[in-house]
Structure 1
């Protein structure tokens, strides 16, 4: 299997990679949606998908906090109001951003913001698992940034 790493990059103006996500972006602190910056789209990208997952959650596949499809190939930021952009069900079944809310005392959790450059558009609003199963062959490149959060 080839590696999908080159110039694609994702970052957030709201937190630093591998550092704590501010409280206002947590489920208990306001559930504000973090800003997302995108750069380095590879040739052949027709759209991006963004999936935020907490693999430290005590569930078989972790917990999916955010699923966004239809992000335009020329986007430099995530604009949820852009034509074609749609939010799919998170781990709780709701089509919204659900900020960090690890179990109290469970230690530090890692929130992986994966950005996928795709060669084909995503049809519908599949879950994270459905997307990974159905669109693996359409992934041109993957980038990620990681935030952390804990509740003591």
Structure 2
């Protein structure tokens, strides 16, 4: 395996500009820094704490996605996604990605690329370059996206493009 590779830009950087920006932070890691070991698949599999602020007036719900653009598959790998979080939900506690956790009335977790509806922990190939785990939150002007729990992460992102009021990201890294 050729491990000497340059990381490609994250696809979020190529999306149309959002009308406003959200500030996304974490108590567990700083932007661009390493995620806790416990975020790793088989090492605790615990989702990190996240908070966001700066949602504009008219925000009715949020979509949150964690994506690894460095996964060795075309299009990267989605590790976690929640859609329909009410506007008054502005944080997720560490471990909130555990299967069955609720994130406000009307919210639901979409299947990640592992095929489970929870936080699919960081799992870069051993010895690979540090992978980026991009946690993006979108503030939406609707709480009725027409989507359900069987929707894919890609469909949720696509179907809400016209409802985005603001967007923000924080990136953590992980390496085995």
Q: TM-score, normalised by structure 2?
A: 0.79
| Post-superposition CA distance 1:82-132 (Å, at most 9, x none) | 322211100121111011110111111000000011112332132221112
2:107 paired residue among 85, 88, 113? 85
Partner of 2:148: 124
Could you tell me which runs of 5 or more consecutive residues in structure 2 were left unpaired when the two chains were aligned: 1-14, 94-100
1:76 aligns with 2:90: yes
- Which residue of structure 2 lines up, in the alignment, with residue 22 of structure 1? 36
Q: Structure 1 stretches (4+) deviating beyond 3 angstroms? A: none
Distance 2:32 2:19 in 1: 19
Instruction: Kindly indicate which of the two structures has a greater share of residues assigned to strand.
Output: 1
CA 1:61–1:13 in structure 2 vs 1: closer, same or farther (change >3 Å)? Answer: same
RMSD, aligned CA:
1.7
Secondary structure in 2 aligned to 1:132?
A: helix
d(CA) in 2 for partners of 1:131 and 1:84? 15
1:51 and 1:115 in contact (8 A); partners too: yes
Which stretch shifts more, 4-13 or 111-120?
4-13
Query: Is the contact made by 1:38 and 1:75 (CA closer than 8 Å) also made in structure 2?
Result: no
CA offset digits 1:15-48 (Å, max 9, x no partner): 1110000101111210112111121111211100
Q: Which moved more, 1:83-92 or 1:54-63?
A: 83-92
Aligned residues, how many? 151
Unpaired runs of at least 5, structure 1: none
108, 112, 122: which one pairs with 1:100?
122
- Match in the other structure for 2:80: 66
Distance 2:170 2:160 in 1: 21
